[in-house]
Amino acid sequence: MERTDPLEGRGGPGPNAIRDRPGLAAALTGRRRELGLTVRAVADRMQMPSATVGGYFSARHLPPSTRPEVVDALLGALEIEPADRQQWMEAIAVVRSHRGATQP
């Protein structure tokens, strides 16, 4: 059975379309904008520095692989349903696995 992409056609590409850092940043930013949130508001919801969280939205860096609770907090701050979070975590893992690859 094919999984549906929970954000496809809404704020930005959903997790199934994410292949690289810019794609992840675009998807996260689309969701943030759809909710009408600033980076600072997301950071406040996560109780993290806005500079750190801003890096996720600008593709400067990824949430740390050793701290899955950060990814969960990010997805929660973006009001991603718990049932859809595994797709997002898988997308972030795909991006992380291509970290050293040359981006077009």
pLDDT (tens digit, 9 = 90+) per residue, 42-85? Answer: 999 999 999 999 999 999 999 998 999 999 999 999 999 999 99
Task: Round to whole Å and give the CA distance between 29 and 7.
Answer: 12
Given a cut of 70, whether residue 10 has pLDDT beyond it is no
Task: Round to whole Å and give the CA distance between 46 and 63.
Answer: 12
| pLDDT band, very low/low/confident/very high, at 98 (cuts 50, 70, 90) | confident
In a domain, 26, yes or no: yes
Task: Round to whole Å and give the CA distance between 97 and 35.
Answer: 29
CATH number at residue 65: 1.10.260.40
- Quote the tokens at residue 88: 């997002």
In a domain, 7, yes or no: no
Give pTM, 2 decimals.
0.81
In a domain, 6, yes or no: no
Given a cut of 80, whether residue 2 has pLDDT beyond it is no
Number of domains in the chain: 1
Mean pLDDT of 3-13: 48
Task: Round to whole Å and give the CA distance between 99 and 42.
Answer: 24
* CB of 78 closer than 8 Å to CB of 32: yes
